[in-house]
Amino acid sequence: MDNIFSDIESNTHIDNNVSLFASLSKRKKKEFLTQLKEIKNEAAGLFLYRVYMNENDKEIQKLIKKLLFRLKSMGIPVPELPLSGEPVLRSIEEKREHRGFLTNYDGTGARLVCALFEIKKKIFLFINAITHFSEGLLELAVTEHKSNEIEEILNSYREKTDNNTVFVEISPRYAGFLIEESSVISGRYTEDLKSFSTFVSHIHHTIKNPVDIYTLKLPETIKPLPFETLWTHDLIAPFMLSWEGMDEDRKTYNTGSGALVLPPYLVEEKKEAFLHTLMEKEEVKQKKRLIQRMFEDYAYMFYSLKDFSAYTAAIEVAKKEENIIGALQFFLKKSLNLPEEKEEQGILINPYDQIRR
């Protein structure tokens, strides 16, 4: 029997092995398929496809389908079975309810991303993720809840929002994108999310990734907010930048004149020169892409809130390099001007208080 599994793994003697499988009793076929789980490559998928096409027993067919789905969920290419009866990939059905939610970043650069997927009638897979502006996915919790429990959790989030925290409903497909994107950045929970792409890809929604945010339809004659107004918007105001050596840079920025008493215009010139130097640091330069992504997400949140002037302004930031640089400079100055004892604290609500029951 070991030789058969070796042949399957190397995709050799496939015809003989397909015939051998067909000759087994139902019990032996089940045992065989249980052992075949250990082979996780494209050759196993080809073998399973061949034996499925020759199999008449519905229970065995179902077991084979499960193994094929498992391989596909791991990203392994498998042949598509002919459409007959219920499809293999039915983890998500469009007639079921799926929802996504997102908060803005708090003062520590953290935010909450939630995704709800109805896996069977009134039973939801509830995914809570805490992501960080630059560090990616920090925490992930996946639980099952009944629909009435879901509403309780969502209501508790809504009750805790204020001028600093905005909890907005977004596309469930985009919520999934954000969770995966943040996992790639942090390198955390990658095993937990291996089959997540396949799971979420069955949801059809106009917003799947950041590119879709740029083409949302607007009412006519919408004027964008001035950038100086956008920076202080309630949704953006809590956000603070952080980087390695920030405390020392803050001291240099604010006391750079040393013992000399300089006129105000020279103090400002020295600050601007220091800011220009800081902008050239590699770690700071790398934050430009993160700033762009933040404003793409914020544009979507503004749109969901029907704040179309803020949406238009946020899109203008994300679209142009010079505007991204302007936003980065603003947040750098904001962080440099903040006294140490008044550093922003996190305002993010803790989802785990709600789901640990």
Considering just the CA atoms, what is the radius of gyration of the chain in Å?
27
Regarding whether 132 and 66 lie in a shared domain, the answer is no
- For the chain, give the mean pLDDT: 84
Regarding whether 129 and 22 lie in a shared domain, the answer is no
Percent of the chain predicted with pLDDT > 90: 41
Calculate mean pLDDT across residues 156-177. 86
Show which of 73, 107, 131 is a domain's final residue. Answer: 73
Full domain range(s) for residue 69: 2-73
The C-alpha atoms of residue 210 and residue 190 are separated, in whole angstroms, by 21
Q: Is residue 322 part of a domain?
A: yes
Q: Is residue 89 part of a domain?
A: no
Helix extents (H) in the chain: 2-10, 14-23, 26-36, 42-54, 58-73, 147-160, 172-186, 196-200, 227-230, 246-255, 264-279, 282-285, 287-304, 308-319, 321-337, 352-355
Q: Is residue 93 part of a domain?
A: no
Regarding whether 137 and 40 lie in a shared domain, the answer is no
> What pTM was estimated for this model as a whole?
0.69
Regarding whether 254 and 158 lie in a shared domain, the answer is no
Regarding whether 333 and 248 lie in a shared domain, the answer is yes
Q: Is residue 299 part of a domain?
A: yes
Percent of the chain predicted with pLDDT > 70: 87
Regarding whether 167 and 241 lie in a shared domain, the answer is no
DSSP 214: G
Report the range of poorest mean pLDDT among 167-171, 191-195, 230-234, 260-264.
Answer: 260-264
* Number of domains composing the chain: 3
pLDDT at 90 over 50: no
Report the range of poorest mean pLDDT among 31-45, 81-95, 228-242.
Answer: 81-95
Q: Is residue 136 part of a domain?
A: yes
Regarding whether 210 and 135 lie in a shared domain, the answer is yes
Regarding whether 334 and 245 lie in a shared domain, the answer is yes
